Chain A
Amino acid sequence: MMKRLLTLVITLMLAGPVFAQSGPLRLTITDGVIEPITFAVPSFEAETPAAQQAAADISRLVVQDLAGTGLFREVPATAFISQVSSFVQPVAFADWRAINAQALIVGAVNVNGNQLSVKFRLYDVFSGQELGQGLQFAGTADGWRRMGHKVADAVYSRITGEGGYFDSRVVFVSETGPKDARQKRLGIMDFDGSNVQFLTDSSSIVLAPRFSPNGDRVLYTSFESGFPRINVLNVANVGRQQLQTAPGEMAFSPRFSRDGRQVIYSLSNGGNTDIYRTDLGTGQHVRLTSAPSIETAPSLSPDGSQIVFESDRSGSQQLYIMSANGGEARRISFGEGRYGTPVWSPRGDLVAFTKQNAGRFHIGVMRLDGSEERLLTSSFLDEGPTWAPNGRVIMFSRETQGAAGTSSMYSVDISGRNLKAVPLQGGASDPSWGPLQP
């Protein structure tokens, strides 16, 4: 029974999240307020002298990941009554209860040459029991951040019952220079803005990169030829080639199918933009829409059977869903204003979008029938949502107003809480969140 105290249930209901109460053992639905789970992370034990730095760094990263979700609150080390000097030492639960730490994470780090391993245990302080079993991750020393993220993912997953998202990467557009001569190139980073690397130079405009489902490739729109064309980039060796699309004057807005073998995208000819699919294996093209209006920003459902896209066939930008093979589409957005850039959630039950209304831009989510629309943000210009692998968090671009306007990336919970900027040097836009890494 006590174990439930440590179980933070995150519902997918837009009606309101759930919080765990300390005190009576029950979960109460509130209107958008979450009482975070309190946790303590005594600095991980360094099993070898060489491991001291890594042990401190990894402990800090685990705290940063968990606290950064807004679902967990750190009990600072200054409040600790007892210390954990050894991974195997019995835990003095009373000392952690006294400072109201609901979860206790203890760990140990071993560095041997270039090899680093980290193990951890998660305790439910109030029940005095271990939650799940101890786990160990091993790799090279320079991969310490990934191992820290893996520990935090495991803790997050055990407490919430959902997948984590810390050990994941985001591909994006790095921006420098003034608004009228902006230089853009593809960048890739850890979800938290660390380990930035560049995948292209900025000799031509690049837009809207999209990860493949397993993260091995990136689709993006390039102006290398002076005309928008879709490139496929191999993340490992940064090799790239142009996608052989159906014939058209411009090709853009690509996304992979869930098996990574097909690409859906927009093609423009004679002022008309429609949605097409190209099979990477056979090279065959299928035209999926054939309206005289603008059809763009297609995104497949997780099961691959349907496509959500935007169209101005009604006279203004709105969201529609059709079969993955084209045909009749049904409109799902009916609120005030314009809707664009729909992205199907990994769980399949929501669509994230950009909404433009009364001079403001919003990132929002709605159900597949357009009900329960919830706007998560509001600013001069927010656009281009992308889902975290677990479908709990959305990252997007925010451009500031005026001649000196710059673009940054932000993340926000699908409940609208925990809005924060991704810390990066320089401008950034068009994030695409990749999968949890193996």
Chain B
Amino acid sequence: MTVFKKAAVLLLVVATAACTNPDRFGGGADGSAGGANGAGLGAGAGAAGSASDPASPLFFNQTIGDRVLFAVDTSTITPEGQTILDGQAQWLLTNADYRAVIEGHADEQGTREYNLALGQRRANAVREYLVSRGVPSTRLQVTSFGKERPIAVCSEESCYAQNRRAVTVLSFSAVTS
């Protein structure tokens, strides 16, 4: 339970750091984006416990992995993605005080509106997978940033592959609800 106290303290820190969405972890690295996470892996969650503590958001973000990647113009969960999402589902079931917003993203090779819709499709695919593994859908929300928040900025497949992602961003439900 001490983990939750730490989490609550972090929450205050993030909030005073002018993050536009203070009920989230991992948003501090990118406050201007209104919570476009995944920029800087786990940067905002750095103080949220330690990566070796299985109940910590940091463990979720780094050890399990907070994101899954997609092939071009698809929203199919890959086998690697399934492994990560199985871990996410298990963590969310164990840590029932957390909610998550799943943020879908696309690479820059597409038009703006289509990429928003594609990101939604990807985020929803992650949500459906987590729900199929028993996570209550009431704890999951989806959004999409389209191509607005790449984490890798080169114009090559090595970067595009990292940008075609869905990131599960934790929040502490004692605060959000």
Given contacts A180-B153, A249-B143, contact A430 B39 (CB under 8 A): no
Contact A340 B114 (CB under 8 A): yes
> Is A198 at the interface (CB under 8 A from chain B)?
no
Interface residues of A (CB under 8 A from B): 178-184, 202-205, 207-208, 221, 223-228, 249-250, 252-253, 266, 268, 270-273, 294, 296-297, 310, 312, 316-317, 340-341, 354, 356, 380-381, 383-384, 399, 401-403, 405, 430
Report the Cα distance A120→B55, complex, angstroms.
Answer: 78
Of listed B113, B141, B144, residue having the most chain A CB within 10 A: B113
Residue of A nearest to B121 (CB): A271
Q: Interface digits, B75-114 against A, CB 8 Å rule (1 contact, 0 not)?
A: 1000000000000000000000000010000001111111
Contact of A297 among B33, B39, B114 (CB under 8 A): B114
Given contacts A183-B32, A205-B34, A268-B144, contact A226 B113 (CB under 8 A): no
Report the Cα distance A8→B111, complex, angstroms.
Answer: 36
Contact B33 A228 (CB under 8 A): no
Of listed B21, B34, B117, B150, residue having the most chain A CB within 10 A: B117
Given contacts A178-B153, A226-B21, contact A383 B111 (CB under 8 A): yes
Chain B interface size, under 10 / 10 to 19 / 20 to 34 / 35 or more: 35 or more
> Is B1 at the interface (CB under 8 A from chain A)?
no
Contact A253 B39 (CB under 8 A): no
Report the Cα distance A290→B139, complex, angstroms.
Answer: 27
Given the complex, which residues of B lie within 8 Å of A203, measured CB to CB?
A: 20, 32, 34
Given the complex, which residues of A lie within 8 Å of B73, measured CB to CB?
A: 316
Given the complex, which residues of B lie within 8 Å of A270, measured CB to CB?
A: 124
Report the Cα distance A380→B114, complex, angstroms.
Answer: 18
Given the complex, which residues of B lie within 8 Å of A221, measured CB to CB?
A: 116
Contact B113 A297 (CB under 8 A): yes
Given the complex, which residues of B lie within 8 Å of A405, measured CB to CB?
A: 153, 155
Given the complex, which residues of B lie within 8 Å of A310, measured CB to CB?
A: 111, 113-114
Report the Cα distance A47→B110, complex, angstroms.
Answer: 55
Interface residues of B (CB under 8 A from A): 20-21, 30, 32-36, 39, 73, 75, 101, 108-114, 116-118, 120-121, 123-125, 128, 141-146, 148-155
Contact B148 A268 (CB under 8 A): no
B127 nearest CB across to chain A (Å): 8
Residue of B nearest to A227 (CB): B143
Contact B30 A271 (CB under 8 A): no
B174 nearest CB across to chain A (Å): 19
Contact A228 B112 (CB under 8 A): no
Contact B32 A356 (CB under 8 A): no
**Between-chain CB contacts (< 8 Å), 23 pairs:** A178-B153, A179-B153, A180-B153, A181-B149, A204-B32, A204-B34, A205-B149, A207-B146, A226-B21, A228-B116, A228-B144, A250-B120, A268-B117, A271-B75, A271-B124, A271-B142, A272-B121, A297-B111, A297-B113, A310-B114, A341-B112, A341-B113, A381-B109
